[in-house]
Amino acid sequence: MLTVYGLKSCDACRRARKALGDREHRFHDLREDGLDGAMLDRWIGALGWEALLNRRSTTWRALDEAERAGLDAGRARGLMLAHPTLVKRPVIDDGGTVRVGL
């Protein structure tokens, strides 16, 4: 089954869900339902951490400069697990292919 990961309040997520029309899907709210390490590792493996980290988000801008500086895969993964709203949205997973953004 197709799963859309994002935030209920995110305009891009709303557009993605609307574009799916009548296609059956499940919505997973990253803020309410959380983000687990195995799921994030699968996405990073498929897309790379750079594609997943939303550097335009309010959450990113609120981080200390020290937290944002010198990122590598491990630190980016840790930040996304600590702050799921740092994940670029929507992430669309159909069980075989993972896509991010519209």
Please report the pLDDT score of residue 95 as a whole number.
Answer: 86
Please report the pLDDT score of residue 102 as a whole number.
Answer: 72
- Residue 40 in any domain: the answer is no
SS3 per-residue string spanning 16-62 = HHHHHCCCCEEEEEHHHHCCCHHHHHHHHHHHCHHHHECCCCHHHHH
For residue 77, the enclosing domain spans: 2-33+53-100
Catalytic residue among 4, 10, 80, 98: 10
Please report the pLDDT score of residue 1 as a whole number.
Answer: 87
Overall domain count for the chain:
1
5 three-state secondary structure = strand
Please report the pLDDT score of residue 91 as a whole number.
Answer: 97
Please report the pLDDT score of residue 92 as a whole number.
Answer: 96
Residue ranges in the chain whose pLDDT is less than 70: none
- Residue 82 in any domain: the answer is yes
- Asked if residues 97 and 85 have their Cβ atoms less than 8 Å apart, the reply is no
- Residue 59 in any domain: the answer is yes
- Residue 43 in any domain: the answer is no
CATH number of the domain encompassing residue 62: 3.40.30.10
Please report the pLDDT score of residue 96 as a whole number.
Answer: 86
* Active-site residue, 13 included: no
- Residue 95 in any domain: the answer is yes
pLDDT digits (tens, 9 = 90+) for 44-70: 999 999 999 999 999 999 999 999 999
Instruction: Report the alpha-carbon distance of residue 47 to residue 99 in Å, rounded.
Output: 8
- Asked if residues 12 and 87 have their Cβ atoms less than 8 Å apart, the reply is no
Tokens 């491990």 belong to residue: 74
Please report the pLDDT score of residue 98 as a whole number.
Answer: 95
Please report the pLDDT score of residue 89 as a whole number.
Answer: 95
Please report the pLDDT score of residue 14 as a whole number.
Answer: 95
